[in-house]
Each structure stands twice: as C-alpha cells, then as structure tokens.
C-alpha cells in the first residue's frame, strides 16, 4: 500500500519531545511501506512565525536522522490557494462574515460548549430576508455556516482512524468554525485540508488533540471535492505533572537536549520502542 505521510509543525518555537514523537511516527509509517515522508511548515501565523525556527525545525529533524522527501511546502506561499477555496465556498453561500470579538463570544450567555470550548452562538449568521451589505473594512473573520454546509454535503460522512476505526463525522458539534480572517485568508482547518490534498497525503499522523478537528476536515473535503486520507491519531506525551508537552508549558527543546550531549540515535530508538525519555510519559489515547 503506497503511503505519503507528512510532519507539519508551526515555526513558533523549537521542536520538543512531543514533536519528535509525532515526526518519528509519521516518518516510520511511510518508510516502512516504501512511501514518502514530507515536511510542511505551517507558518500562517505571521506574528509568531520566525525564520530562525524554520531553520531550527530542519536542523532538529536532521539531528534525529529523519530525512524528508522533496521540497518543503510553506503555507505562507499558498495564500492564493486558500483564498480560491474560500471564494468557492462564499459563492455557494456557505460562509459569512463575523464581526464578534473573542471576548464577546466568551461572554455570550447563549454560547454552548463543544469539544474545544465555547461554540459560536451564531450572532452574525445570515437570516432569511434582505440585509445590508456588511462593512468588510472592519475587522472580521469568515465562518462556515455549519448547518448549510452539512445539508449541502448531503450524505453521512465518515473517516477512518487507525486506533478508533470508522468514525461518523459530526462537525456540527463545533459550530460555525472560522475558516479565514480579514488579515489572513485562511485558518488551520482550511489550510490543512487544502494542503494535505495538494501534497497527495494518504495518511495523516498527528496527536489526539486534533481528533475533533478531523470532523470539520472531513466536511471540508466533501464540500471541496478533495480526497480523505487515513488518520492515525496518537497519544500525547505528557510531563511529570501529567500536563501534555507544549511550548507554552516549558517542554524541553530538542536543541536543549542536543546541547547537553543527548545521543540522537538513542533518543530515536527510545521513541520507536515507545519508551519516552527525560521524564516525559504517554497521555491517554
């Protein structure tokens, strides 16, 4: 079975053990099948992305002995592709501009809670009848009209996870998700869906923290006529206190371990064997 996998970090900091765990899994899945392992830099966050971190990602992967195939895709080079996809959804009446701030949404008594926190209550969602044209010079985002999108998909959507089996997509639980903002013509949901298809990714390897997002990605694939990869959501690595390893939680960077003389071959072997070193542990699957 031909496999194309990818590792797609954001260059907002140095790679840590959690990143390495995911990268090794994606790399080995492809290599064991004689397939391709790709590197994609998800740098749509122009305020936090740094070129020094892009160089650091490549340096850290090379130190671990993980070699990727072909040129590195960078999302910052692909804004026209995202804008085109958004325009197609707009033309079908599936997205609408939203002018609510995050604080207003969080304070709304009508905002229900979904898997990832408060769900947008639909304040700006269009209703039947004519309405004045929105002032798009104001700060805004573009939201997917979830009910209309699900209705247009018109069928029961499913996706396959290596651990959980076949999953019936339930994107509605996340409400009218953001697909783009005034200053950035894409969001994670839209960009990752477009890019996986553009790179011919057959197998997506990523952490369980993105399991719920896959419901939305499956819907976007259906709406945009894109293929659905196989998914491999793996447990997250946690620190000694049980909190998942993350940049904001002070997870130790691979560069730091390298400076301390860590053996990359030993680290790679440990990760492949499911042994998580330096005080990290497995989270729940």
User: Which residues belong to the active site?
Assistant: 247
- From residue 283, alpha-carbon distances to 12, 181, 230 in Å are 23, 33, 22
Helix (H, G, I), strand (E, B) or coil at 38: strand
Cα 180 to Cα 165: distance, rounded to the nearest angstrom: 31
Separation CA 21–CA 116 (nearest Å): 23
Q: With beta carbons less than 8 A apart as the criterion, state whether 169 and 158 touch.
A: yes
Measured in whole angstroms, the distance separating CA 119 from the mean position of its chain's CA atoms is 18
Q: Distance between terminal CA atoms of the chain? A: 25
Helices 213-224, 146-153: crossing angle, 10 deg rounding: 60
Sign of the Cα pseudo-torsion (242, 245, 248, 249, in order): positive
Please count the residues of the chain. Answer: 285
- C-beta of residue 231 within 8 angstroms of C-beta of residue 162: yes
């Amino acid at each position: 079975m031909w496999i194309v996998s990818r590792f797609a970090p954001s260059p907002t900091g140095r790679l840590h053990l959690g990143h390495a765990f995911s990268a090794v899994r994606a790399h080995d899945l492809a290599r064991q099948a004689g397939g391709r392992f790709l590197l994609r830099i998800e740098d749509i966050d122009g305020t936090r992305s740094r070129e020094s971190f892009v160089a650091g990602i490549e340096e850290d992967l090379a130190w671990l002995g993980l070699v990727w195939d072909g040129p590195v895709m960078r999302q910052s080079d692909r804004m026209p592709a995202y804008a085109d996809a958004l325009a197609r959804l707009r033309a079908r009446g599936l997205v609408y501009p939203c002018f609510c701030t995050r604080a207003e949404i969080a304070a709304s008594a009508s905002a229900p809670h979904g898997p990832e926190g408060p769900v947008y209550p639909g304040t700006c969602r269009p209703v039947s009848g004519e309405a004045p044209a929105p002032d798009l010079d104001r700060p805004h985002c573009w939201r997917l009209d979830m009910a209309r999108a699900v209705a247009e998909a018109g069928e029961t959507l499913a996706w396959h996870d290596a651990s959980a089996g076949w999953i019936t997509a339930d994107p509605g639980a996340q409400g009218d998700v953001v697909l783009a903002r005034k200053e950035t013509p894409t969001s994670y949901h839209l960009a990752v869906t477009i890019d996986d298809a553009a790179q011919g990714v057959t197998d997506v390897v990523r952490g369980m923290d993105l399991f719920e997002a896959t419901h939305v990605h499956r819907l976007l694939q259906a709406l945009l006529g894109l293929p659905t990869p196989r998914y491999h959501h793996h447990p997250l690595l946690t620190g000694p206190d049980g909190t998942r390893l993350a940049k904001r939680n002070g997870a130790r960077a691979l560069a730091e371990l390298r400076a301390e003389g860590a053996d990359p071959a030993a680290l790679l072997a440990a990760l492949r064997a499911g042994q998580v070193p330096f005080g990290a542990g497995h989270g729940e699957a």
